[in-house]
Amino acid sequence: MGSAVEPQEVASGINWRDAKEARPEMNKYIKEFSKDFVGYIEKNYEWPDVGVERLTRMLDYTVPGGKYNRGLLVLWTAIDTCKMKGLNFGSVEKKAVVLAWCVEILQACFLVSDDIMDNSVTRRGKPCWYKVQGVGLDAINDALILESFLFYLIEKYFDGEQYVALMKLFHDVSLKTQMGQMLDTMSEKAKGKEGIFDTFTMKYYTRIIKYKTAFYSFYLPAASALIACGLTSKEVLCGAEEICVAMGIKFQIEDDFLDCYGKPEVIGKVGTDIFDHKCTWLLVMALQMMTKEQRATLEANYGNGIEDKKAEATVKGIYKDLKLEEVYEKQETDSYAECEALINKYSSILPSETFVRLLKKIHKREK
């Protein structure tokens, strides 16, 4: 038998806790939101039929189709916050769904841009948007339209203090993510630059992943839901940020490990961090532990491109000699304890159930 679901969690008859049930419902909502946005543009911007068709096609192609993990985190946080406050989830359900899609639309905006910068070929099992015939670099403008779409939704469904808080939140997290992306791409393009490996410290690495991943993947969904449920105090949001940043860092360290050691058939991709000269947790730890001879070998083989399989094997050999897999396992245990302590620290003002469930989901993950 499945676990019982409390009545307030299924206000509309949808069990948002069940991802398999929730994802099709999410798709229904984005069709509604996209149609509304296109209608607004058509009415207020004297938009021709050809423009309506192009905008509709872009939204349909780039926004739906993901796992919706970030969007579902908005809904789960809202459910738990309502339970904590003794509220009926039905009173905030539509707003939570709107914000779930705002987070997913921002993700789509980033992915459209990232694919161009990375010269990617496929995304979610189909050609990247910029690779679609007739699109090309017009996708840059499309990414900007996607960002405008999410702000349109916030303006339509929120007002007063919530509107101000959400606009500030999304603008702030967008900028933080963009700055993190800048640092990440700088590390990739620094191959051969004198002294570059001296800059790859744990502080530098943590800064990248904190700003590139933690804020928009963890903090943004949680904070959005808290604001929708009326929790807008600095104490509450700062507590949520502290927890989410710690979990975001843990998540990205796991990502780095899986890129190197994960099975492609399980993680769904072939790891490329070593080929791409990425500043990763494994690299930073290796730089702290290795001998001068090992460092010279690593510098000669790191970031040599995907064609040089021998160079990748050499780097992985150094990682093995340093027993980084054992170091990683200790890090997994320590980071779990750190996150758990933060959740307990703020349990009186935040829905700890949300964060405990999320922590268990990401801990020791294999994909």
Q: Where are the domains of the chain?
A: 1-157, 160-367
Q: What pLDDT is stored for residue 189 in this prediction?
A: 82
For 169, counting Cβ atoms within 10 Å of its Cβ (0-12 exposed, 13-18 middle, 19+ buried), the class is buried
User: Above 50 in pLDDT, residue 7?
Assistant: no
Q: Assign 3-class secondary structure to 241-282.
A: HHHHHHHHHHHHHHHHHHHHHCCHHHHCCCCCCCCCCCCCHH
Model confidence band, residue 3 (pLDDT cutoffs 50, 70, 90): very low
- What average pLDDT does this structure show over 161-171? 97
Query: Do 26 and 14 meet the contact criterion of CB atoms below 8 Å apart?
Result: no
Q: Whose CA is closest to 224, among 62, 67, 71?
A: 71
Token pair of 12, please?
Answer: 């509309």
User: Above 70 in pLDDT, residue 137?
Assistant: yes
The pTM score is: 0.92
1-157 and 160-367 in the same fold: yes
Torsion sign across C-alpha atoms 224, 228, 233, 235: negative
Identify the bridge partners of residue 122 per DSSP, sorted by sequence position: 127
Per the CATH hierarchy, to which homologous superfamily does domain 1-157 belong? Farnesyl Diphosphate Synthase (1.10.600.10)
Please tell me what DSSP assigns to residue 90. Answer: G
Model confidence band, residue 8 (pLDDT cutoffs 50, 70, 90): low
d(CA 203, CA 218): 20
Model confidence band, residue 270 (pLDDT cutoffs 50, 70, 90): confident
List the CATH code of the domain at 160-367.
Answer: 1.10.600.10
Q: Assign 3-class secondary structure to 160-223.
A: HHHHHHHHHHHHHHHHHHHHHHHHHHHHHCCCCCCCHHHHCCHHHHHHHHHHHHHHHHHHHHHH
Q: φ and ψ at 214, to 5 degrees?
A: -60, -45
Torsion sign across C-alpha atoms 144, 103, 34, 93: negative
Model confidence band, residue 27 (pLDDT cutoffs 50, 70, 90): very high
Please tell me what DSSP assigns to residue 347. Answer: T
d(CA 130, CA 119): 10
Q: Collapsing DSSP states into helix, strand and coil, what is residue 304?
A: coil
Q: What pLDDT is stored for residue 4 in this prediction?
A: 45
Alpha-carbon radius of gyration of the chain: 22
pLDDT tens digits along 182-196: 998 888 888 888 889
Give the list of residues 6+ apart from residue 338 with CB closer than 8 angstroms, or none: 246, 250
Q: CA angle 94-99-100, nearest 5°?
A: 95
pLDDT tens digits along 193-217: 888 999 999 999 999 999 999 999 9
Q: Whose CA is closest to 141, among 113, 166, 163, 119?
A: 113
d(CA 250, CA 314): 26
d(CA 205, CA 226): 29
User: Above 50 in pLDDT, residue 63?
Assistant: yes
Query: Do 91 and 65 meet the contact criterion of CB atoms below 8 Å apart?
Result: no
Model confidence band, residue 109 (pLDDT cutoffs 50, 70, 90): very high
Torsion sign across C-alpha atoms 334, 340, 344, 347: positive
